[in-house]
């Protein structure tokens, strides 16, 4: 584009507008909108910032996107905007890779330690003023399978390895000697490697291939007493199968930050299961994350205006930023 033209930017946000947009407002006509106004905002827009990254409103308003060239989403997972209309278009899709990695890795290590050290029970006993000594587990040497080897999975693997755990990955490209994962096994071999793991961490992108990959068959081969951690997407899991595996075995526990329906409905049996830790899709959302998300967008916006290559360009067929691209970046 010619830099002297003022581009139109549509920003999908809920009640909370993105902070610190002044630099962008100086360079573009910015149309803030909620889901109801989205089609109007997209009509004539050159760029589109999906700040409300869990919104499902984009496909329904897509018909109005008559001159859109770039869509940026304020999340790592792009599944809410990965629909045929976008995939088949020339619109470039970028994501917010890197923002959440470290915080999610800390969260995963925290829930692993919460299980091993029985902290939830300590918290319950404290409320009853009960002094009840128990023995606790070591995490050192315990085996973790990280399913998903993108940047977040890598950050998790690095953190758990640093804390003394024995880590392997499951991903698209099997390989040995990875500095963070050690061995990476092929996704097609998942069921062979689940039985050896004390902890299984789901952090794969949600695609047609990964949807429902954690089902009764997968849970059925897991080690008795092992724990399942989901920081990817709720739809990676067949929730009724997870509940069955927690109730009847083999699972010893689950820490869940994401769910197939969010907020998790009040009637879900997961809320009251003793061996389940629930958090409301917040594992990556550290203090300052919203500002960081806008910084990542602003950096790409500057590149877009200058005609430079954008960062974090998503392969719209794969559904994520391929790691080959990352290595070049």
Examine the residue annotation and report whether 262 is marked as an active-site residue of this protein: yes
Q: Residues 25, 262, 308, 324: which is the catalytic one?
A: 262
* 288 DSSP assignment: T
Stretch that binds its own copies, among 27-35, 131-139, 211-219, 230-238 (CB under 8 A): 131-139
Size of the site for its own copies (CB under 8 A): 52
**Pick 8 or 231: Cβ nearer its own copies:** 231
Identify the CA nearest to 254 among candidates 264, 184, 177: 264
Q: Residues 154, 193, 227, 233: which is the catalytic one?
A: 233
Residue 249 has, within 13 A of its CA and on its CB side, a CA count of 4
CB burial string 86-120: b at 16+ within 10 A, e below: beeeebbbbbbbbbbbbbbbebbbebbebbbeeee
Helix (H, G, I), strand (E, B) or coil at 201: strand
Q: Is 291 in the site for its own copies (CB under 8 A)?
A: no
CB-CB contact of 146 with 170 (8 Å): yes
CA–CA separation, 65 and 39 (whole Å): 7
* Phi/psi of residue 196, nearest 5 degrees: -85, -5
Q: Is 215 in the site for its own copies (CB under 8 A)?
A: no
The pairing of beta strand 175-178 with beta strand 182-186: antiparallel
CB-CB contact of 61 with 38 (8 Å): yes
Q: Is 281 in the site for its own copies (CB under 8 A)?
A: yes
Helix (H, G, I), strand (E, B) or coil at 320: strand
**Pick 92 or 109: Cβ nearer its own copies:** 109
Q: Residues 281, 295, 303, 305: which is the catalytic one?
A: 281
Kindly tell me which residue out of 39, 113, 310, 318 binds its own copies, with binding defined by CB under 8 A: 113
Q: Is 295 in the site for its own copies (CB under 8 A)?
A: no
Q: Is 249 in the site for its own copies (CB under 8 A)?
A: no
Kindly tell me which residue out of 271, 299, 302, 324 binds its own copies, with binding defined by CB under 8 A: 271
Q: Is 126 in the site for its own copies (CB under 8 A)?
A: yes
* Phi/psi of residue 103, nearest 5 degrees: -65, -40
Length of the chain: 329
Q: Is 223 in the site for its own copies (CB under 8 A)?
A: no
Least distance (Å) from its own copies to the CB of residue 279? 5
Least distance (Å) from its own copies to the CB of residue 45? 28
Stretch that binds its own copies, among 122-130, 174-182, 193-201, 293-301 (CB under 8 A): 122-130
**Residues near its own copies, by CB under 8 A:** 102-103, 106-107, 109-111, 113-114, 116-117, 119-120, 122-123, 125-127, 129, 131-140, 159, 162-164, 262-264, 266, 271-272, 276-283, 285-289
Q: Hey, which residues are catalytic here?
A: 233, 262, 281
């Amino acid at each position: 584009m010619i830099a002297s033209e003022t581009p139109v930017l549509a920003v999908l946000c809920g009640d909370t507008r993105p902070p610190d947009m002044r630099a962008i407002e100086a360079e573009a006509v910015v149309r803030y909108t909620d889901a109801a106004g989205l089609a109007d905002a997209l009509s004539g827009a050159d760029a589109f910032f999906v700040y409300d990254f869990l919104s499902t409103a984009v496909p329904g308003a897509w018909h109005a996107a008559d001159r859109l060239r770039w869509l940026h989403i304020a999340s790592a997972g792009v599944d809410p905007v990965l629909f045929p209309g976008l995939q088949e278009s020339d619109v470039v899709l970028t994501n917010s890779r890197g923002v959440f990695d470290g915080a999610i890795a800390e969260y995963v290590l925290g829930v692993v330690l919460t299980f091993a050290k029985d902290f939830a029970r300590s918290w319950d006993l404290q409320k009853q003023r009960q002094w009840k000594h128990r023995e606790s587990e070591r995490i050192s040497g315990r085996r973790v399978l990280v399913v998903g080897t993108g940047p977040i999975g890598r950050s998790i693997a690095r953190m758990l390895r640093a804390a003394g755990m024995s880590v392997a990955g499951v991903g698209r490209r099997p390989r040995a000697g990875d500095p963070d994962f050690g061995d990476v096994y092929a996704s097609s071999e998942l069921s062979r490697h689940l039985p050896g793991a004390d902890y299984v961490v789901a952090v794969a992108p949600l695609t047609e291939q990964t949807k429902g990959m954690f089902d009764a068959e997968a849970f059925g081969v897991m080690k008795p007493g092992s724990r399942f951690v989901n920081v990817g997407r709720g739809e990676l899991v067949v929730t009724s199968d997870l509940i069955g595996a927690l109730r009847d075995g083999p699972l010893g526990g689950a820490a869940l930050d994401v769910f197939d329906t969010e907020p998790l409905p009040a009637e879900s049996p997961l809320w009251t299961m003793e061996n389940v830790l629930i958090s409301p899709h917040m594992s990556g959302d550290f203090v300052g994350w919203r500002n960081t998300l806008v910084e990542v967008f602003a950096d790409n916006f500057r590149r877009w205006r200058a005609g430079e290559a954008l960062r974090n360009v998503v392969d719209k067929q794969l559904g994520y930023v391929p790691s080959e691209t990352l290595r070049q970046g």
